[in-house]
Structure 1
């Protein structure tokens, strides 16, 4: 028994001397081991997440300006069309007849002008010889003016008839993708702006708009920080995607907050060179919530919940545990941003937290290291309690742009 006690004392003295050689104070007997590390210092950019849908930059409901029978359909459902391309033709016979009638009226009015001008010229020559009265000359002059007015009206009727004839050819007002035809050949349409006479719908190709709503709190945050405005970077993922692989720029924010819903409408412009994006698609967007800032980061597992407070345990030089209240930010690459409450030199317990029973207890610290664990910001978990939904390291944002 005496030999065993001597061996145990020797082991404890050896361990104490080893700890002193490493610059650590000798741990108290029975102090549980924990892993500690200083917070990771990085520049971080916050991203706020929103839900929205894609919209075409231009959308046009194609209608015929004139009514009549649909005589022909000149496009395939769903195909890309060019601006000015012929889409529908209407029966042009009635419009052609009106044009011919108007042209005949022009010829008649022209002959009346010729006759009235000749009568005026003749009466003016006879007036010099006092063969006619001044009243007759004035009457002929008035008749010429009436004939000229009738000619002008007839010419206007010809232009109207010619315009109506052109309305029998319905062309694409913009370039883009056409929907299906809503009216088949042989049907009669009234023309004009009636909702039932939409022939097809065209949405523009190329870049798309992504429209989403932000809360009043988000709007206030942006205005106070002055970080978000036109051209702010936006990252978007589709419903079946896990990464925010599509990028765009914020190009519009509404001029007022909706009093009924308390939100403000925002819009981003997103390139669509491959034509994959379609109007109405659902997506999630991340908007850079402000400029990059220096932040301290710790693992989520190092954070304790004390009722409404969030705390971390730090180990002092004497091996005693101290609790520090912290203000948290978003998650970036698996690590939690600590906005306040920590110092860069604090030794935070990142493993063995359950063995640090309470503040003031003694522990045996073992040096560890805090490293990012997620591949990218979109892969990190999102918490709704943080002011920003997620974040990324500032250098990765610059590289992505």
Structure 2
């Protein structure tokens, strides 16, 4: 027999022996089965029920209570500037001086005109007195008396006109000293000494501007949904009306932690802006230390809701399921998905308006490892992370 004829028979023998060896293995042995994974462990706790006051957050900007553009009332050459750019000024402080000489001459001329008019009046009264005596004796016609009486009235009118001209000239002379109309911080001067400036009611030259600082306003816009909520709360008696009461306002600057400054609402617009669907609100704030400056941004909190008992949980306990906000609640040892309606953050906790009660046990950590309806092991802790109970076994969770 050749070598080629022996190889197939030898290969067949190996196949048969292999089949017999495999047939002796036990695939049904329990040790070969994959062990079921243990239930995931989560940290859970009951919500905190606490009496709180809600504050709604807005972005505002400081604005001066009084803002004045300083302009000249008379025309002339600027002769003096009596302030430093950017300094604080008080109402009535002298700021600019316009050349007084032409206006002083106008006052002298008006005084002279008044004296002439007064002398003419005295003469007219004397003539009237003489005519009255002659009319009684019928030595002059009554027409002469009437003419002299009219002359007196005309002289009196000229005196009044001269006095008005003199008062006007004195007023123009006073206007050559431009004084601060309000107290506050002054801007830079826009015209230098030696320039001819225009005065009057129209096209008057802008000299500088002043903004008041204490008190100061903070202005912000409230969206129409929040406005409606405030109105309905006022009607229900759970929040004071912002129109009839000085609602408290808390303010924080960009570099502040929290809202350390306080103010009070003093104005609410009478209509909703059609373009932005917001209503303009304004609060007044004390600024004795001059920390706030007009134009500065601020974080503003307005009283949103009166005091009430709120259900609160850590914000990390909330997750998103499509468009809904949900939390996991442990019930009968299983994770149950619960839709919730959320409120603002207060003292580091999230307010839950609807969907939870104080008795529910809410998963606060380990949410990524569980799904709705899954058996879980609870490591119960309070919201500060302090262990309240020992680890619970799956059997105890299902009791």
TM-score (norm 1): 0.81
CA distance in 2, matches of 1:362, 1:213: 49
3-state SS of paired residue (1:222): helix
In the alignment, structure 1 residue 366 sits paired with structure 2 residue 379: yes
- For 1:321, the equivalent position in structure 2 comes to 335
3-state SS of paired residue (1:53): strand
> Residues 82 and 174 of structure 1 are in contact (CA less than 8 Å); yes or no, is this contact kept in structure 2?
yes
- Picking from 58, 68, 71, the partner of 1:63 is 71
CA positional deviation for 1:214: 1.4
CA positional deviation for 1:61: 0.9
3-state SS of paired residue (1:162): helix
Unaligned runs of 5+ in 1: 1-27, 374-401
> Residues 36 and 350 of structure 1 are in contact (CA less than 8 Å); yes or no, is this contact kept in structure 2?
yes
- For 1:97, the equivalent position in structure 2 comes to 105
CA positional deviation for 1:38: 0.9
Unaligned runs of 5+ in 2: 1-35, 387-399
CA distance in 1, matches of 2:65, 2:353: 40
> Residues 333 and 372 of structure 1 are in contact (CA less than 8 Å); yes or no, is this contact kept in structure 2?
no
Q: Relative to 1, partners in 2 of residues 1:312 and 1:261: Cα closer, same or farther, differing over 3 Å?
A: closer
Per-residue displacement from partner, 1:168-207 (whole Å, max 9, x unpaired)? 1111111111111111111111112446611111111322
> Residues 334 and 372 of structure 1 are in contact (CA less than 8 Å); yes or no, is this contact kept in structure 2?
no
CA positional deviation for 1:127: 2.0
Aligned residues: 344
- For 1:108, the equivalent position in structure 2 comes to 116
3-state SS of paired residue (1:84): coil
In the alignment, structure 1 residue 311 sits paired with structure 2 residue 326: yes
TM-score (norm 2): 0.81
> Residues 335 and 372 of structure 1 are in contact (CA less than 8 Å); yes or no, is this contact kept in structure 2?
no
CA distance in 1, matches of 2:372, 2:55: 35
- For 2:31, the equivalent position in structure 1 comes to none
1:25-104 correspondence runs (5 A): 30-104=38-112
1:132-211 correspondence runs (5 A): 132-194=140-202, 197-211=205-219
CA distance in 1, matches of 2:55, 2:370: 34
- For 2:302, the equivalent position in structure 1 comes to 287
CA positional deviation for 1:351: 2.5
In the alignment, structure 1 residue 351 sits paired with structure 2 residue 365: yes
CA distance in 1, matches of 2:385, 2:294: 37
CA positional deviation for 1:289: 0.8
- Picking from 347, 354, 362, the partner of 1:333 is 347
Greater Rg, structure 1 or structure 2?
A: 2
CA positional deviation for 1:32: 3.3
